[in-house]
Structure 1
Amino acid sequence: MRKRRGIQETGALLMALSLVLTACGSGGGDKENAPSGSASPSESGASASPGGQAVELGITWWGPDARHEATKAALGIYTKQNPNVTFKPEFMAWDAYWQKLPTLVASKAVPDVLQMDAAYIQDYVSRGVMEDLSDIDLSGVVPDNILENVKIGGKLYGIPLSHNAQGIAYNKPDLEAAGIELPKQGWTWEEYFQWARDAKKKLPEDKYPIGDPTNAWDWFQWYQASQGKGAIMADGGKTFNLDKDLFVKFHNELAALRKENVLPPADTSLAFLENDPQADPMASGKVMTRGATVGSVAALEQLMPGKVAVVNVPNGPSGGGWAQSTIFLGVSATSKHKEEAKKFVKWFITDSEGGKALGLTRGIPINESIYKELEPNLEAKDKISKALADVASEKAMPFYSAGPGYTEWVDFYKTTMEAVMFGQKTVEKAYEEINKLGQDIAAKQK
């Protein structure tokens, strides 16, 4: 459906282990190029309160300069409110963070509080790094369905900080000008495909209602999961489940749409580059809709001011798309101050003053009341991000990342299905090859 440049914040997350989304943004991983650094403990100068034992919490996170400054400000506010608690912060860029964390784990020096990403949290939970936070009451703070989506084995190991979600963006004024009915919230896959056929009848020959997701494994993942067949990869990659009947049905439907000129030609589709002013399928005016995450839709709004509207990913019987936080604050299982650390991570998403200091430096706040306080001063790009999170969450499924060890499979899926797009391989043959590689990888994982 689009060209990809590797792991980027906007696509981020959908392909968290193989590629993502910006804002997270990004989807996935929150990859940023900020300089690494560290800050001294809070500068408030407050001494320990008479009734509380003096505690210094180590805390580490990744991000750009804006996030660093906002977080340091929030830590200062916490110390002002809780004079017995000071912090030893360390912050760095995305790459440096994930290079350093394994070293901290090996040396049993993980800070009390650590930022965590959806792409890696299961791995660190399995290694015993993360403390179980299930006893923290988040009722009325984090939506129940999103909270359930981020649990691992029924337990909570990270406090979700912000919204991320997958939806579909569309060019509202161009659709209205063409007399095309706007995409309907809650639509099913059948309605999505029929809408595309109906819309194409009212569009010029060189414009298309939807893009071609044939070579994007995550789109089929959404389809398969929405039909009740679950994730393609589960159990840390030990289980591989690519449903043949659904695979053939989905891709034969796309092949028919391509033949009917409802989808762009293969060479046109593969030339698209999301969020590029000239090559983005929507911003270029070639395609009326495209997939978007909370982060990437903000970038799209900046390319097309006032033209972007959003709707959910098509639903099946089990839901549609995904909506959950992909960035968390966790507590180290080896922390000597677990209760104080738990108190702090809850404060991080519930305190009004702290929320104002943090702003949108980690995306749309997960806590609706904090968002409402920030909303009057937000830009249009921030509001469209929140709108996407809202429409996606109604029947959202969990975020399913590629399993560990499946980078080769993700790449193979893309190239194999591009051969299908050009008519060089049948859908059935593609299934055989893609499924075999997946099963082989799963066998090795076991």
Structure 2
Amino acid sequence: MENKIWSKGMTLLTLGAMLALTACGSGGDSKDSGSGGAVKLKIMWQGPDTRHQAMLKTQEVYTSLNPTITFSPEYMAWDDYWKKLPTLAASHSMPDVLHMDGAYIQEYATRGTLEDLSDMDLSGVIDDKTLENLKIDGKLYGIPISRNAQGIAFNTEGLTSAGIELPKKDWTWDEFFDFARNARTKLPDGVYPISDSDTWDFYQYYQTSNGKGPIIQENGTKFNLDKELFTKFYGIYAEFREKKIVPPADMVSSFKENDPQADPMASGKVMTRGATVGSVGALEQLMPGKVDVVNIPVGPEGGGWAQPTIFLSVSTDSKHKDEAKAFIKWFVTDRQAGTTYGMNFGIPIYDDVYKALEPTLQPKDKLGNKLYDTAKDKALPFYPAAAGWTEWVDNYKKTMDAVMFGQKSIEDAYNEISKAGNAIAEKQSKK
């Protein structure tokens, strides 16, 4: 998800439409070459240039160890990658090995474009619980290569200097809200303990932690927004606006994460903000030595999520499935591979690889690993928005922004969000 967990855009809609046109086809030879001769694996991934260079070097290492295997690489930026992949999937011309993301893998897997990798032996490398949580309809369609988690970063220097007790691992929602109330009495005017809340995912953490399940269920065909919890959660934030525990709406709307002047924490305006394993490193670079992390507040069922979101997959179009699987297993489990690509996909999933890298890691990398370790004990599964729900996600934020600005009541917001959600679920169930 690469910090774009909820930003799928129109890619999944495009994918669904294009694959529907070719659903009856089965282009490409699904059999491996099995010749024992030279094989050129097509491989495709996305990301910044540093990742590109690391991946190319890693492939060079693999070829030096396996001279009959060479690569035909293709790489591009995030948006370009997810725009191109639906076309390749629809035309049955996907690469042998491809980068998959937690926000997209279910859609590609259920459309029959990814190979089942459940037979790959990863015992002692990735724990069984993690692999089981990643299965889709009982099958494993991507091998995780790094760790990810959602948590909350906080300004240790700002809180300590104000005499405020720092957040602790596995704090409850009540403790989170009490932290905000208490901190307000000790922080100077114009500095806030927490920010306002207007996104569906942060509310969903509250709902799932209290045992009511995710909002979007059964591949988008069922809508589940608990009115009692919704009203209670946003009622607390209404109290916080009145008592100036959260910043004013116009300030919240101007925040921009990881911008030195506009980031809520880096700017000194807010003492806490949400962060993932990847994004907390950027925050640490803006505020060196001043950032620590804690997990999302928990309820009776746990809270937040901690699981891999970046994968390597094999296309069902591949003519070299065995060779593709062998490369992926080496990539994930081999120390030389890990030290070559380093932290360019985040914190490596395999502990032995992480330990090999640890002496050279920067504070930002170690902080990301701490976030993962802090979040994993109480973590719930990751619940992304299903295909076809992008507009609803955007409208949820717009609706709650209207509540934040005092233009709409919580009751009206609930009714509008529910009406739209139920309509999409009904539409999706008829497909």
Letter in 1 for 2:170: G
**Is 2:403 the partner of 1:396?**
no
**Is 2:414 the partner of 1:431?**
yes
Give the conservation status (yes or no) of the 8 Å contact 1:170–1:289.
yes
In the other structure, the counterpart of 2:220 is 237
Shift of 1:209: 1.2
Give the conservation status (yes or no) of the 8 Å contact 1:16–1:402.
no
> How far apart, in 2, do the equivalents of 1:224 and 1:343 lie?
41
In the other structure, the counterpart of 1:17 is 8
Q: What secondary structure sits across from 1:79 in the alignment? A: helix
Give the conservation status (yes or no) of the 8 Å contact 1:294–1:385.
yes
In the other structure, the counterpart of 1:342 is 325
In the other structure, the counterpart of 2:30 is none
> How far apart, in 2, do the equivalents of 1:347 and 1:73 lie?
14
1:292 to 275, 299, 307: 275
> How far apart, in 2, do the equivalents of 1:16 and 1:151 lie?
22
The percent identity for this pair of structures is: 60
> How far apart, in 2, do the equivalents of 1:16 and 1:122 lie?
15
Stretches of structure 2 lacking an aligned partner (at least 5 in a row):
11-34
> How far apart, in 1, do the equivalents of 2:273 and 2:334 lie?
36
Q: What secondary structure sits across from 1:17 in the alignment? A: coil
Q: Which sits farther off after the overlay, 54-63 or 339-348? A: 54-63
In the other structure, the counterpart of 1:315 is 298
1:368 to 340, 345, 351: 351
Q: Which sits farther off after the overlay, 353-362 or 77-86? A: 77-86
What pairs up with 1:25-104 in 2 under 5 angstroms?
A: 52-104=36-88
What pairs up with 1:155-304 in 2 under 5 angstroms?
A: 155-213=139-197, 215-304=198-287
Letter in 2 for 1:82: N
Stretches of structure 1 lacking an aligned partner (at least 5 in a row):
1-7, 20-50
Deviation digits for residues 4-43 of structure 1, max 9, x if unmatched? Answer: xxxx953x11x13259xxxxxxxxxxxxxxxxxxxxxxxx
Q: What secondary structure sits across from 1:442 in the alignment? A: helix
> How far apart, in 2, do the equivalents of 1:221 and 1:149 lie?
19
Q: What secondary structure sits across from 2:236 in the alignment? A: helix
Shift of 1:430: 0.8
Deviation digits for residues 141-189 of structure 1, max 9, x if unmatched? Answer: 2244433332212321001111121100001111111111110101111
Letter in 2 for 1:268: M
> How far apart, in 1, do the equivalents of 2:387 and 2:298 lie?
27
**Is 2:119 the partner of 1:128?**
no
Q: Which sits farther off after the overlay, 56-65 or 216-225? A: 56-65
| 1:93/1:272 CA distance change after superposition, 3 Å | closer
> How far apart, in 1, do the equivalents of 2:352 and 2:91 lie?
40
> How far apart, in 2, do the equivalents of 1:238 and 1:335 lie?
32
Q: What secondary structure sits across from 2:41 in the alignment? A: strand
In the other structure, the counterpart of 1:151 is 135
> How far apart, in 2, do the equivalents of 1:393 and 1:74 lie?
29
Q: TM-score, normalised by structure 1?
A: 0.86
> How far apart, in 2, do the equivalents of 1:107 and 1:406 lie?
25
In the other structure, the counterpart of 2:27 is none
Deviation digits for residues 93-151 of structure 1, max 9, x if unmatched? Answer: 22332233223223322222111112211111111011111111223322444333322
| 1:208/1:144 CA distance change after superposition, 3 Å | farther
Shift of 1:190: 1.1
Q: What secondary structure sits across from 2:43 in the alignment? A: strand
In the other structure, the counterpart of 1:422 is 405
Q: What secondary structure sits across from 2:247 in the alignment? A: coil
Shift of 1:331: 0.9
Pairwise CA RMSD: 1.9
1:111 to 95, 99, 104: 95
> How far apart, in 2, do the equivalents of 1:174 and 1:282 lie?
10
Q: What secondary structure sits across from 1:369 in the alignment? A: helix
- Corresponding pairs, count: 405
Q: What secondary structure sits across from 1:75 in the alignment? A: helix
2:312 to 312, 322, 329: 329
Letter in 1 for 2:289: G
| 1:407/1:102 CA distance change after superposition, 3 Å | closer
Deviation digits for residues 219-257 of structure 1, max 9, x if unmatched? Answer: 011111111222211222111111111111111111122
